[in-house]
């Protein structure tokens, strides 16, 4: 595989993906279980949560692109098991595993999957608490976050809703998902820099610490090009608007990327720690943006640089180092600077998304 001046062997990428996936399982506190034809154990992720949803989305993209029927069957079995045992309460983050599920419904005949997709999408539109202006309130299992918009909502819930609208032929669901992209852009995107704030609250009407949190920015870099692929029938005016939003953000991100390819926890603060999960997410988003025709091929050099930095953060056991701990909304910038780095499942998941996408680029079957 040739990436500008960077050459990476496919076998090396496959080995890295397997190790990162195995470490993902261990970090979730369960025995190793991978997705893929070469792994008879199937999927053994116990918990239905956003971290697993992100990881399974990457695995599903690879399975579909390469025609790996065993991997698809493993995913079907995992979802059937989760549904049979009972799903956790619905909120923004627990919606993330619904994105791979709605895509699965295009490849398997499972009326129970389709029924869950329709019911969950309807819940997001009609029963999820809304903020002023009809935004999706960032409800999580720990708290309601009354009146708050967070940037990760777009990946965790709105991409699923958009694809559900396509699959179920519900234009109103597509329109609602796109509206959420617009309303989040209005309150979270900074027009002066192009970067995105972590959150906004209507209770006081402010952006909390005004933090340009790197992982939050990464969710946006990823979510916009994913929306373009998941909804081919986006209105031209919406595509034009969101394309410019992404291009503006990426211009800003490039200015703040370190020479070694990494990004800081606070994008514009070189005194804050460097952070691998954001670096992986931004690299993946740039690659997807190029694939979607939103970003220029010249932006590839920044994704390549970030990719090499991320590869350097994967240890011999497949654990991704340099990932910031879970990050609730901060009320001052020091809150973000003090967050420790430690191995996390979402660091593994975002890294898998990046490596799988790079692998698929060089796969003749994809």
Q: Which residues contact 152 (CB under 8 A, 6 or more apart)?
A: 92, 138, 215, 216, 219
Best CA proximity match to 102, nearest among 82, 92, 88, 116:
116
Q: Is 20 within 8 Å of 352 (Cβ atoms)?
A: yes
Q: Is 271 within 8 Å of 218 (Cβ atoms)?
A: no
**pLDDT band for position 332 (50/70/90)?**
very high
Is pLDDT of 36 > 70?
Answer: no
CATH of 2-361, one of 2.40.110.10, 1.50.10.10, 3.40.50.1220, 3.40.190.10: 1.50.10.10
Neighbours of 342 (CB within 10 A): 14
- φ/ψ of residue 189, rounded to 5: -85, 130
Is pLDDT of 29 > 70?
Answer: no
> Positive or negative CA dihedral for 235, 240, 243, 248?
negative
Is pLDDT of 65 > 60?
Answer: yes
Over residues 73-104, the pLDDT tens digits come to 999 999 999 999 999 999 999 999 999 999 99
Neighbours of 203 (CB within 10 A): 10
Over residues 242-266, the pLDDT tens digits come to 999 999 999 999 999 999 999 999 9
User: Which one-letter DSSP state was computed for residue 164?
Assistant: H
Q: Which residue has the higher pLDDT, 135 or 47?
A: 135
What would the two tokens of residue 335 be? Answer: 């809150």
Query: What is the model's pTM?
Result: 0.93
Q: Is 261 within 8 Å of 282 (Cβ atoms)?
A: no
Largest distance between two CA atoms of the chain: 53
Over residues 123-178, the pLDDT tens digits come to 999 999 999 999 999 999 989 999 999 999 999 999 999 999 999 999 999 999 99
Is pLDDT of 289 > 70?
Answer: yes
Q: Is 197 within 8 Å of 261 (Cβ atoms)?
A: no
């Amino acid at each position: 595989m040739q990436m500008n001046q960077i050459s990476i062997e496919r076998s090396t990428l496959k080995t890295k993906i397997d190790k990162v996936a195995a470490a993902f399982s261990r970090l979730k506190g369960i025995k190793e279980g991978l997705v893929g034809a070469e792994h008879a154990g199937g999927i053994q992720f116990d918990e239905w949560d956003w971290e697993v949803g992100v990881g399974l989305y990457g695995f599903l993209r690879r399975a579909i692109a390469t025609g790996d029927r065993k991997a698809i069957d493993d995913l079907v079995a995992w979802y059937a098991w989760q549904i049979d045992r009972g799903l956790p309460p619905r909120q923004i983050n627990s919606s993330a595993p619904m994105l791979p599920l709605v895509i699965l419904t295009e490849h398997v005949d499972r009326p129970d999957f389709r029924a869950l997709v329709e019911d969950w999408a309807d819940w997001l539109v009609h029963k999820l608490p809304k903020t002023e202006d009809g935004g999706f309130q960032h409800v999580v299992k720990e708290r309601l976050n009354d009146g708050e918009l967070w940037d990760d909502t777009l990946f965790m819930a709105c991409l699923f809703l958009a694809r559900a609208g396509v699959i179920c032929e519900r234009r109103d669901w597509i329109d609602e998902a796109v509206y959420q992209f617009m309303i989040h852009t209005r309150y979270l995107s900074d027009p002066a820099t192009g970067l995105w704030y972590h959150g906004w609250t209507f209770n006081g009407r402010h952006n909390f610490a005004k933090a340009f949190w790197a992982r939050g920015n990464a969710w946006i870099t990823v979510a916009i090009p994913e929306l373009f692929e998941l909804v081919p029938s986006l209105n031209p005016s919406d595509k034009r608007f969101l394309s410019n939003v992404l291009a503006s953000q990426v211009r800003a991100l490039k200015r703040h990327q370190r020479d070694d390819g990494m990004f800081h926890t606070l994008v514009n603060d070189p005194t804050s720690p460097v952070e691998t999960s954001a670096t992986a997410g931004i690299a993946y988003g740039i690659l997807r943006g190029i694939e979607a025709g939103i970003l220029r091929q010249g932006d590839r050099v920044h994704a390549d640089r970030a990719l090499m930095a991320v590869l350097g953060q994967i240890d011999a056991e497949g654990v991704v180092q340099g990932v910031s701990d879970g990050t609730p909304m901060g009320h001052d910038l020091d809150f973000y600077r003090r967050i420790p780095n430690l191995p996390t499942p979402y660091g593994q998941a975002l890294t898998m998304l990046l490596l799988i996408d790079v692998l698929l680029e060089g796969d003749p079957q994809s």
